Chain A
Amino acid sequence: MNGSSDLGQLHATMQAIEFACSSIQINVNPAAAEATILSLCQSPRPYQACQFIIENSQMANARFQAATAIRDAAIREWSFLSPDEKKSLISFCLSYVMKHASSPEGYVLSKISSVAAQLMKRGWLEFTAAERDGFFSEIKLAIVGNHGLDVQFTGINFLESLVSEFSPSTSSALGLPREFHEQCRKSLEQDYLKNFYCWAVEAAQSVTAQITNSDAAVSEARVCATALRFMLQVLNWDFSNSSRVVKNSIDVFSFVAKEDSNSSYTLVQPGPSWRDILITSGHIGWLLGLYGVLREKFSSKAYWIDCPLAVSARKLIVQLCSLTGTVFPSGKYFSLESYAGVSQGNHLVQLLSGIIEWVHPPDAMAKAIECGRSESELLDGCRGLLSIAAVTNPVSFDDLLKHIRPFGTISILSALMCEVVKDLMTKDMEEEPWSWVARDILLDTWTTLLTETNGSGVKSLLPPEGINAAANLFALIVESELKAASASEEKEEYFQASVAAMDERLSSYALIARAAIDVTIPFLTRLFSERFARLHQGNGINDPTTTMEELYSLLLITGHVLADEGEGETPLIPVAIETRFPEHMETEKHPVVVLSWSIIKFAEQSLDPNMRAAFFSPRLMEAIIWFLARWSSTYLMTVGEMQSCKNSIDEVTLLRMQNSRKALLSFSAEHTQGKTLLEIIVRISLTTLISYAGEKDLQDLTCHQLLGGVVRRKNICAHLVTLDSWRELAHCFTNDRVLFSLHASHQRSLAQTLILSASGIKNSVEANQYIRDLTSHMTAYLNDISGKKDIKSICQQPDVILGVTCLLERLRGASSASEPRTQKAIYEMGFSVMQPILKFLEVYKDEAAVVYLLLKVVVDWVEGQIIYLEPHETALVIDFCMHLLQLYSSHNIGKISVSVSSSLQSEANAEKYRDLRALLQLLQKLCTKDMVDVSSAAIDDQQTSISQVIYVGVHIVSPLITIDMLKYPKLCYDHFALLSHMLEVYPEMIPKLNHEAFSHISGTLDFGLHHQDEEIVGMCLRSLSALALYHYKERGGGRDGLGPHATTYKDANGNLQDGILSRFLRSLMQLILFEDYSMDLVGGAADALFPLILCDHDLYQRLGNELVERQPNSVLKTRMASALHSLTTSDDLSPSADRLNMRKFRKNLNRFLIDVRGFLRII
């Protein structure tokens, strides 16, 4: 199949491909057929044959495959093609699609035009502007309609594939660095994108008349729809100047913050150069007009709303709403008189005048959809509102519609939302009704509108009608949620609908509620009191479940309204609550206080066993605990000032706001009722831990959210430790076996919480004593058991195992709570159980769960303690750890399991993996002693060298880590993290390793280099680089370096084996030249390769010569040789491994790879 072959041979190829294609279609011997097609793709220079097939084959499939082959071969061989060949390939594709524009096999045409687009991109930076324009002049002629509708369609189609190739997120891989794609993107955006857009507009406008004049669907509509779709694609382009422009512009619309929220709109910010075409050209008017006319005309035909033209027109209109930034002239947002049609306000009003037709009046629209009308227009209308909300603030959003209608945009938004909520109430959720989608879009719109942006503060949030609308809407939402709650109660199935699941929706509701906070809080209070009353009335007679479920929903909604999720930080009181109650100065009458107090009162009733049995189901308690956690982290004993608000408010109002805030906070302040409230909260927690046995979710919320949150704040801890209830909790924890039944992680968290509360004790001696009291029961029991003579048989008893595991979990929790002040007590705790731990490791060696726990206890304890330890303590701890490692190793090395069951077998593997991971973590933790050390010892009298320890550790652990074990990704990650850290920080230890350990390390490095995870390969490269650098530097200083490991030696069979560095030089060269890897790794590879080359320059020379010799012809030979030459010489690279040279080498290697990898990988 060469250029010179005759016609007959081309025919033969064509027949072979056609035969292969048809046999794939009828599924006869597909493997052979695929091989035939693949051989065409892989053969050198198949262009002539492919072109012949494309032009002459009657079979569409064969033409399709030929196009694929052209693409594959050309991308592969691009650097060998002469400029003329490149251009002729592209123009062949282009002229083919233009010539056959009317062909019925659309997929072949779009394939060929996408091949043209890809080739054009591949050569984009090589072509001169004139050459590019040469291609595009043809395209332009086609698009504006000189050659008929089909050609017009094909032209736009080509531009579509071109733009999607140039947009980084949709481009296909060319095997080139990211910079290439980036440069292409920039160049296209600067020089061509706007022209393309104009051509599309022109094409669409040229066919408007025909479309509007004809009564049926015409083929012009296809062109128009494609053009609109292409315009949308251009507007979706990620304009590069966008972010910078936004930050500099002093605009009333502070959308920077809004960009972070994850709603489904994108802002379109093409910059000022697009102003003429997008804003002033008037094409928006034309677009709205076109849609309006057609909508009118086809109003009787239901199908039209979903036809491609209508869909693309609507999408484009919605996208135009997102237009913002410097494309509008800076200065006035709204200027009806001076620049009519130019400012953003006018632009939005114009679009809204079109969109409003799709959604107004909402009730009629909803009814029409019920009767079978397509919902897509209404949904697009909602999306339009969302896009507009994203580029405006609430007030100007509301004003927009007032220019053309007697009501504001917010009224229409809330009317729409009401219709949607009403519709949802009647629907079954599982069918995913339209109102479901609409609700999500509209909620996003509200969130976007109401999310605080930096500038807006107190007053401007919503105009008065907007507040009313929000209040009504919230009432309706709550009604619908309650109805849903009571309705779903009958369903038997219960899908772990946890508290967090509905979070997102509820927080949008909360935003709406906060917009009208002065109405919604009393409203919620009323709803609660109704339900409480109902519960008490029906005491024991009626089934309370409906009411309980309603309370459950109300608690969640109220929690969201009153407080924000802190995510580990202390959340602030919502601005709305701080500022919108200036008339309430008395604590008892403050609406928020009334609401909170009524809920806490209700929660307190759960302490009464009878009430608890009657009403407080685990699920209701979950909501209560969740609410208490959220409430207490925002309001309980809160100190601090009011959030400053930028809006100018007069002094009097500000003062009243501050007073009202003070009134609110004094409800739960430290000096007032705060302590009583805290007492109630702790008592409720204690109840959930003791009286709700086995309710994991509930106890999880109690331990992690509520108690964990409470001890996070120091001022609360100070009161906590003085409370009777807290002491009771501690007493229960140490003495009551009931708490043994808590889940493992809750044991841990409870121990941690109790220990952390010690920070509330001012006197450090007392604090340490408090911790000793808390932990003595664990250490005493463990010591007692491990000291028994018949420990071997006792230990296997399930109740002993349960006891031991519980206490170990608690030890873990306590260890992770170590703080500088209480470190002493925790150290003593760990020290006293060292011997028991070793003992247990021995007796429980077959009890995988216990072994793992033992290791984790040690890991956590070492992690918390290591940086504080004095030298003699360090020595003790390290000695203990080494003992532990050895013991573990002696139990597990070479262990074979004869289990019959394969799943037990894989369980056993997973257990082993977890153990090993814990051991690696232990070593890593020990390493940190070298980094951070706050003990009082001077650096010199450090008696134990950590590096020594780590290497002993590696000797013990590494034989346990088999290549099979490295298939567990996390273990693999930890192993290489430790390895690379070790090699980088303590390379001087390597020569001291024995041969076995060393070859194990180099074996795993070899494995890691070919791992599919980029990060792991990166770590291996770092390790290699450290090894080679160390060797190189030592040799430079006249020392031994890696010594025997680096020299060639004779293996057991008497064959000469290369030293390790030479072996890695070989395999690294092989990797970077011939194998698949991510281009991001090249930097790391350069860092490893350079010192390797320096270490063994002779071998490198030999490898280089081999490479050159292996090239099939002299052209390639010279290319290879010169590339190799410039790799080590260009940019004044000198052969010494300092930073400057390393950097230069990185650049050189990048260039080298771009240069040669293309042809090396073909041959």
Chain B
Amino acid sequence: MSDEEHQFESKADAGASKTFPQQAGTIRKSGYIVIKNRACKVVEVSTSKTGKHGHAKCHFVAIDIFNGKKLEDIVPSSHNCDVPHVNRTDYQLIDISEDGFVSLLTESGDTKDDLKLPTDDALLKQISVIWLNG
């Protein structure tokens, strides 16, 4: 059973290689977007207009993929937004230690031991059960 973890290293300054510009009108629900220098997943997009004969604007509601906080932004739909490059890495779970840390196997064959098990009890139990059953 694999466990996931998001990796996003440009929290402080959105470095050029870590984000891509994309027209706001093309960003869709469940895509990604950078708002206030945070990588977020878009959960709601709506368009509105400014004044009767103005141009359309996109209103994004997005959720920070690391801390789960809700963020909002309004961008003219023909302007560009930053879209983060989100990487997912799968690790194989090798062990659960007594203190709640997990031991994970990376694709290159190394182990990664600095992650803790999630704190949600139900989930914790579920993971342990699956782990024990192999």
Contact = CB atoms under 8 A, between A and B. Distances in A.
- Chain B associates with chain A: yes
B3 interface: yes
A903 B66 CA distance: 13
Interface in B107-121: 118, 120
Interface stretch (A233-241, A461-469, A630-638, A894-902): A894-902
A3 interface: no
B28 A849 contact: yes
B32 to A, nearest CB: 7
Interface string A879-903: 0000000000000001010111111
Contacts of A481: none
A899 B85 contact: no
Contacts of A849: 28-31
A802 B66 CA distance: 23
Interface string A606-619: 00000000000111
Given A694-B56, A694-B76, A896 B84 contact: no
B53 A740 contact: no
Contacts of A848: 30
Nearest to B47: A696
A744 B45 CA distance: 13
Contact of A896 (B19, B41, B65, B126): B126
Nearest to A489: B52
Interface in A866-917: 894, 896, 898-904, 907, 911
B31 to A, nearest CB: 6
A620 interface: yes
B3 A696 contact: no
Contact of B85 (A798, A898, A904, A911): A798
A494 B52 CA distance: 6
B70 interface: yes
B24 to A, nearest CB: 7
B123 A545 contact: no
Nearest to A896: B126
B68 A894 contact: no
Contacts of B76: 694
Contacts of A548: 53
A796 interface: yes
A693 interface: yes
Contacts of B67: 900-901
B55 A894 contact: no
Contacts of A377: none
B87 A796 contact: yes
A620 B49 CA distance: 13
B96 interface: no
Nearest to B53: A617
B134 interface: no
A489 B51 CA distance: 8
Interface string A781-813: 000000000000000111101100100000000
Interface size class of A (residues with CB under 8 A): 35 or more
A697 interface: yes
B22 A802 contact: yes
Interface in A895-951: 896, 898-904, 907, 911
B94 interface: no
Query: Secondary structure at chain A's binding surface: helix, strand, loop or mixed?
Result: helix
Contact of B63 (A617, A802, A846, A901): A901
Interface size class of B (residues with CB under 8 A): 35 or more
A492 interface: yes
A903 B52 contact: no
A695 interface: yes
A670 interface: no
A899 B123 CA distance: 10
A741 B30 contact: no
A803 to B, nearest CB: 11
Given A693-B23, A694-B76, A799-B20, A545 B52 contact: yes
B78 interface: yes
A438 B77 CA distance: 41
Contact of B22 (A799, A846, A902): A799
A549 interface: yes
A798 B32 contact: yes
Query: Secondary structure at chain B's binding surface: helix, strand, loop or mixed?
Result: mixed
Given A799-B20, A802-B22, A898-B4, A693 B78 contact: yes
A901 B25 CA distance: 26
A1063 interface: no
Given A494-B51, A849-B31, A904-B41, A618 B26 contact: no
A743 interface: yes
A883 to B, nearest CB: 22
A463 B18 CA distance: 75
A617 B54 contact: yes
Given A797-B20, A798-B84, A693 B77 contact: yes
Interface in B1-59: 1, 3-4, 19-20, 22-26, 28-32, 41, 43, 47-56, 58
Nearest to B86: A796
Contact of A903 (B4, B70, B86, B88): B70
B104 interface: no
A894 B1 contact: yes
Interface string A534-570: 0000000000010011000000000000000000000
A798 to B, nearest CB: 4
B90 to A, nearest CB: 9
Given A695-B56, A849-B30, A907-B30, A494 B50 contact: yes
A903 B30 contact: no
Nearest to A694: B77
Greatest chain A CB density within 10 A among B48, B68, B123 is at B68
Nearest to B20: A798
Contact of A696 (B22, B52, B70, B77): B77
B30 A911 contact: yes
B20 A618 contact: no
Nearest to B67: A900
Greatest chain B CB density within 10 A among A494, A693, A697, A743 is at A693
Contact of B56 (A492, A549, A618, A802): A618
Contacts of A489: 52
Interface string A102-116: 000000000000000
B78 to A, nearest CB: 4
B127 interface: yes
B99 to A, nearest CB: 18
A743 B130 CA distance: 42
Contacts of A693: 23, 25, 77-78
A695 B55 contact: yes
B1 A618 contact: no
Given A904-B41, A907-B41, A619 B127 contact: no
A618 B55 contact: yes
Contacts of A802: 22, 26
A740 B26 contact: yes
Contacts of B24: 694
B53 A899 contact: no
Contacts of A744: 28
Contacts of A798: 19-20, 22, 32, 83-85
Contacts of B120: 898
Nearest to A800: B20
Contacts of B88: 796, 846
A703 to B, nearest CB: 14
For the complex of A and B, list the 6 residue pairs with the smallest distance between their C-beta atoms, beginning with the closest: A694-B77, A901-B68, A694-B25, A617-B53, A798-B83, A693-B78
Given A545-B52, A618-B55, 11 more contacts: A494-B52, A619-B52, A694-B24, A696-B47, A696-B77, A697-B47, A697-B56, A742-B26, A798-B32, A849-B28, A900-B66
24 contacts: A494-B51, A549-B53, A618-B49, A618-B55, A619-B52, A620-B53, A694-B25, A694-B76, A697-B56, A741-B25, A742-B26, A743-B25, A796-B85, A796-B87, A798-B32, A894-B1, A896-B127, A899-B68, A901-B63, A903-B68, A904-B41, A904-B43, A907-B41, A911-B30
Interface of B: 1, 3-4, 19-20, 22-26, 28-32, 41, 43, 47-56, 58, 63-70, 76-78, 83-88, 118, 120, 123, 126-127, 130
